[in-house]
A and B are shown apart, each in its own frame.
Chain A
Amino acid sequence: MTEESHEDFEAQLPVSERVAATSFAHPSERVAACILDFYQIEWRYEPTTFPLEWDRQGNVLTSFAPDFYLPEFDLYIELTTMNQKLVTKKNRKVRRLKELYPDINIKILYQKDFRKLLFKYGIPVASRHHSEGGGLDAAVSDPGTDA
Chain B
Amino acid sequence: MTVTFPDERMDRVLFSEEQVTGAVARLGGEITADYAGRDLVLITVLKGGAIFLADLCRAIDLPLTVDFMAISAYGPGAAGAVRITKDLDDAIEGRDVLIVEDIIDTGLTLSYLLRVLRQRRPASLAVCTLLDKDARRIADLPIEYRGFSVPDRFVVGYGLDLEGLWRNVPYIATLNDDIWDG
Contact = CB atoms under 8 A, between A and B. Distances in A.
A39 B112 contact: yes
Q: Using C-beta atoms within 8 Å of the partner chain, give the interface range for chain B.
A: 20 to 34
B139 interface: yes
Contacts, number: 93
Interface in B57-97: 73-82
A12 B135 contact: no
A86 B154 CA distance: 26
Name B's interface SS.
loop
Nearest to A123: B75
Contact of A146 (B79, B109, B161, B179): B161
A113 interface: yes
A111 to B, nearest CB: 11
Interface residues of A, number: 36
Interface string B168-182: 000000000001111
Residue among A38, A119, A147 having the largest count of chain B Cβ atoms under 10 Å: A38
A147 B180 contact: no
Contacts of A41: 108, 111, 138-139
B75 A121 contact: yes
A40 interface: yes
Interface of B: 73-82, 105-106, 108-109, 111-112, 115, 135-140, 152, 154, 161, 163-164, 179-182
